[in-house]
Structure 1
Amino acid sequence: MKRLTLGLIFVALFAACDAVAQTKSASPGRAAGTTSASSFDALVKKADAARAADQTDEAMRLYKQVVRMRPGFAEGWWYLGMLYYEADQYPDGRAAFRHLTGLKPEMALGWAMLGLCEFETKDFDSALAHLEKADQLKIPTEQGFYDVSRYHLALLLIRSGRFEFAVKIIGDFARQGKDTPQFTEAMGLAALRKPLLPNELPPLERELVLDVGHATCDSAARRAAEAERDRLELLRKYTNTPQIHYISGTMVLANDSDKALEEWNAELAISPEHPQALVSIAAEYLKRGEYQTALPYAERAVEASPNYFAAHAILGQVLAEGDLDVPRGTHELETAVRLAPWQPQVHFALGTAYAKAGRKTDAAKEREEFLRLRGQNEVAVSKP
């Protein structure tokens, strides 16, 4: 899923380009005279015709003339960038889409294509930032473009260690029946918490990654019978492999929380400092109101991973909600917010702790931030 077909994009996103094309009439120099306007319009028509006829080199040459004549003509930069992308000329495509995003910073398509070009030039940090920007601006959901953009966003989230949010993206595709081999492989990397791109995966690990990805996609798609079969097969093939029992626990949690606890404890027998298993066990006991039982797992999670926001968050919730030590619980939640200010649920938990401590103003601020972030997350993938 590396590439987009130019024809598909031009058909699926034609309406978006119509919106961009409104800049044509407002472009600087429009008042320079009828002759100038006519020559510009004629040049654009020639470029459009060359593009429509798949005369790529000629279309590039003409669109370069177009944007030299009118640097503020956003549609010209869009088509030029797309032609460069389809021709594997990613540095030139990146330059074109940088111009476009400067002219149309509200255009999700421009940011998405800039991110895709940067991905191909291995400027991964910039690619992640710009694909997230596109996501926040709502990437159009037309078939093809949306899938490619979100797939690459998921890969970059995995590479940066933001596994939970990559799982969410790929899970959405699985629920639509789009769990192709590429998505399955990416899901396996995310579920196994391997911060790698697919081409960096050691060949000997590929079978494990695909097996886990297949099982996790079935679970995300709520294919219950298939997911249970997959889960049991994972346990059979990879009984002592780290992360497998944790994954098994997450797969059964919704229907059998006792079985989930059993699996997470089995994970701890293999990996005693597994932070996600410790947090998950503490969270389940917190949900049950068994605060004293939850406490040692939450404490161990913080000790095992002191920079893991979820460990501080769950410890803070156990201490504050269980009235075990509200001031300390508040401090732990404040630490979680410092580590992950983009996490809405952490702000909500901190607001609840502030309210319990009588800090009404602080509680109101945290709940306001929770609502703001939750609104963002309805259209975007957050940081972890």
Structure 2
Amino acid sequence: MRNFPCLLLVFQVALPGSLSALAEGQVSPRASQKDSPSLSNTSRKTDMPTFETLKAMANAAREADEVPEAIRLYTELVGIRPNWTEGWWYLGTLYYEKDQYTDGARAFQRFVTLEPKNGQGWAMLGLCKYQTKDYVTSLEHLGKGRELGLAGNEELARVVRYHQAVLLTLGRQFEAAQELLNGFAVEHRESDSVLDALGMAVLRISDPLEELNSVQKEMIRQFGKAAFLAGERKASESRKLYDELEEHYRNRPNVAYAYGVSLLAEKEPERAMTYFKEELKRNPNHVASMLQIALQTMSSGKFEEALPYAKKASTVDPENFAAYYALGRIYLGLNDVPSAITMLVRASKVAPDVPGVYFVLASAYTRAKKPAEAARARAEFARLEALDKERRGEATGEDTKSNALEKSGPL
């Protein structure tokens, strides 16, 4: 079944654009022509009563929650009119309700083929793909749905955000996952599913939750709760729980790191560094700790001291854009502009959608007296920043002013 109970409300999704008109029977002649195959006037007159009768029967079955009958009728209807978008939409949602996700994906694939700019259709296609465990495609479609917009449907937006976060965690993009999940804390929408997903992101656990033992699950739930309290701006409660968890689960993987990150959020970088170094003692190849130390060290102007941490991080994890980003900033601090540009360009190749990389790259090109390249980097930064700000506002329920450097690190 579903991983997010509120998805049962999917039938409340407002039909976008022409779909609302179709549902009410308020379709202009031009719209009707688009949604019908090419027919002669005679055949259309013969077809319309049959189609309208079947449509009324299908709608009645759907509204009466007679799902199998509604599916049968809508299938017949889209057979008559293959370009009837409303029919494909309802067929997809009905299949989803019946947990027939492969069939649902086919219906929504047809829907987005007819309505390629419809974000809700892409979102539902992504949710179907999630349930069939086609995770790469699911993440792509969910992202496209959010990018196109979900027509103000906040319930669907929350479902999409949750599943995106789970997929990002499976793909080891823990910081991006946590950012999405923090929105639920801002909205005060606590649930076990959200706490578990948040705990896994905080503890950097990419294994499926169902494969973990009961002790791990309890630890994950508790760390998720601590992070959720922090997102709710309940700092004292969050700190108390984090302190208890650090003591109880000390020496377990990523606990010292998670505790250090929580200290950073409370503006205690010196204490945080102690725990990042503690994590490195436990695991000398802990890339996230290396990068935290590198970024915190260079923020104090100690670029030479930061350099070996960033270098090792890029060696251990050559696909980690943040390592190249950190190296780029460090080389800029050391006035080695050519090396900085090389590292920042590499970061942009690994993560082409992170605005902060282009922000720093523009600065590097300016210092290298390359105005054309600097202008291109600034333009790309502005484009990505606008898109990122829109996504962040949707994710947190706030119109937050983004910070390029904060969003660019591994944090």
| Fold-level similarity (TM above 0.5) | yes
Instruction: Indicate the larger mover: 349-358 or 279-288.
Output: 279-288
CA distance in 2 between partners of 1:6 and 1:162 (Å): 24
Name the counterpart of 2:9. 8
- Alpha-carbon distance, 1:96 to partner: 0.8
Name the counterpart of 2:20. 18
CA distance in 1 between partners of 2:184 and 2:159 (Å): 11
Instruction: Indicate the larger mover: 242-251 or 283-292.
Output: 283-292
Of 183, 189, 199, which aligns to 2:210?
199
Instruction: Establish whether residue 289 from structure 1 lines up as the match of residue 301 from structure 2.
Output: yes
- Alpha-carbon distance, 1:216 to partner: 1.8
**Paired amino acid for 1:83:** L
Name the counterpart of 2:400. none
Could you tell me whether the CA contact under 8 Å between 1:6 and 1:83 is conserved in 2?
no
Instruction: Establish whether residue 233 from structure 1 lines up as the match of residue 244 from structure 2.
Output: yes
Could you tell me whether the CA contact under 8 Å between 2:7 and 2:159 is conserved in 1?
no
CA distance in 2 between partners of 1:121 and 1:357 (Å): 49
3-state SS in 2 of match to 1:240: coil
Instruction: Indicate the larger mover: 34-43 or 13-22.
Output: 13-22
Instruction: Establish whether residue 350 from structure 1 lines up as the match of residue 361 from structure 2.
Output: yes
Q: How does 1:1-384 map to 2 (within 5 A)?
A: 2=3, 8-14=9-15, 17-18=19-20, 23-24=31-32, 26-29=34-37, 31=41, 32-254=43-265, 255-323=267-335, 325-380=336-391
Instruction: Indicate the larger mover: 286-295 or 123-132.
Output: 286-295
Deviation readout 1:294-321 (Å, 9 max, x if unpaired) = 2233233223323321111111101113
Instruction: Indicate the larger mover: 268-277 or 50-59.
Output: 268-277
Deviation readout 1:233-262 (Å, 9 max, x if unpaired) = 121112212211211121121422222222
**Paired amino acid for 1:130:** H
Q: Normalising by the residue count of structure 2, what TM-score does the alignment of the two structures yield? A: 0.86
3-state SS in 1 of match to 2:71: helix
3-state SS in 2 of match to 1:378: helix
CA distance in 1 between partners of 2:61 and 2:383 (Å): 47
3-state SS in 1 of match to 2:189: coil
- Alpha-carbon distance, 1:231 to partner: 1.3
CA distance in 2 between partners of 1:380 and 1:98 (Å): 24
Aligned residues: CA RMSD: 2.4
- Alpha-carbon distance, 1:12 to partner: 4.5
- Alpha-carbon distance, 1:141 to partner: 4.7
Q: Quickly say closer, same or farther: Cα 1:48–1:370, change in 2 above 3 A.
A: same
- Alpha-carbon distance, 1:15 to partner: 5.7
Could you tell me whether the CA contact under 8 Å between 1:13 and 1:142 is conserved in 2?
yes
Deviation readout 1:187-245 (Å, 9 max, x if unpaired) = 11112222233323344421221122112222233210111012101211122122112
CA distance in 2 between partners of 1:19 and 1:278 (Å): 56
Segments of 4+ moved more than 6 angstroms? 4-7, 381-384
Deviation readout 1:261-302 (Å, 9 max, x if unpaired) = 222222222222321112112212322333233223323322
CA distance in 1 between partners of 2:89 and 2:155 (Å): 17
Gap regions ≥5 residues in structure 2: 393-406
CA distance in 2 between partners of 1:379 and 1:71 (Å): 35
- Alpha-carbon distance, 1:142 to partner: 3.2
Name the counterpart of 2:404. none
3-state SS in 1 of match to 2:227: helix
Could you tell me whether the CA contact under 8 Å between 2:3 and 2:193 is conserved in 1?
no
3-state SS in 2 of match to 1:57: helix
Q: Normalising by the residue count of structure 1, what TM-score does the alignment of the two structures yield? A: 0.92
CA distance in 1 between partners of 2:22 and 2:143 (Å): 21
Deviation readout 1:326-358 (Å, 9 max, x if unpaired) = 222221212212221222111211111111111
Size of the alignment, in residue pairs?
Answer: 383
- Alpha-carbon distance, 1:146 to partner: 2.3
CA distance in 1 between partners of 2:161 and 2:57 (Å): 34
Could you tell me whether the CA contact under 8 Å between 1:12 and 1:143 is conserved in 2?
no
- Alpha-carbon distance, 1:91 to partner: 1.6
Could you tell me whether the CA contact under 8 Å between 2:11 and 2:93 is conserved in 1?
no
Gap regions ≥5 residues in structure 1: none
- Alpha-carbon distance, 1:6 to partner: 8.4
Could you tell me whether the CA contact under 8 Å between 2:168 and 2:176 is conserved in 1?
yes
